[in-house]
Homo-oligomer: A and B are copies of this chain.
């Protein structure tokens, strides 16, 4: 196990694998519930790898996934780059304060076949033993609004 890069120290509270459940809403779809697993890992370099997958809470079938990298800038600012199987990439910038990371998109770009997403806001925060994750999204012509929120517990 490599030593954590000093620039990643503010993200140490995230490291590991977390599992839990969440709920999703959006005006164009039915409300849904899901099981979620996220992992934050490092290799001693100045970034933290992030991977996420969700399953339908009822059927157990896979729903969403995403993968990317958190890039702490050494001054509290954080960048996140993200790829999604929906054909969308996101670049976000924001800050970490204590155990709370809040990010807003600077660019959301999709492939020719992807649905239109124009902006996102993401937050990861740990309160006690619980990791909360939330995403707000402006998609298919609608304004930025709450989309998903989840609560997870550390698995390892």
Q: Which residues of A contact B (CB under 8 A)?
A: 2, 43-45, 47, 49, 51, 53, 61-62, 65, 67-69, 71, 73, 79, 81-85, 87-91, 93, 106-107, 109-113
A131 to B67, CA, bound (A): 23
What number of copies of this chain does the assembly contain? 2
Contact assessment for A71 and B89 in the assembled complex, using a CB-CB cutoff below 8 Å: no
A82 to B53, CA, bound (A): 16
Residue of chain B at shortest CB distance from A62: B43
How many Å from the CB of A53 to the closest CB on chain B?
A: 8
- Sorted nearest first, the 8 A-B pairs with minimum C-beta distance are A89-B89, A67-B67, A69-B85, A47-B85, A68-B83, A83-B83, A43-B62, A79-B111
How many Å from the CB of A34 to the closest CB on chain B?
A: 14
A75 to B46, CA, bound (A): 40
How many Å from the CB of A78 to the closest CB on chain B?
A: 10
Residues of B contacting A79 with CB < 8 Å?
A: 87, 111-113
Contact assessment for A91 and B110 in the assembled complex, using a CB-CB cutoff below 8 Å: yes
Interface centre among A69, A87, A90, A110 (most CB of B within 10 A): A69
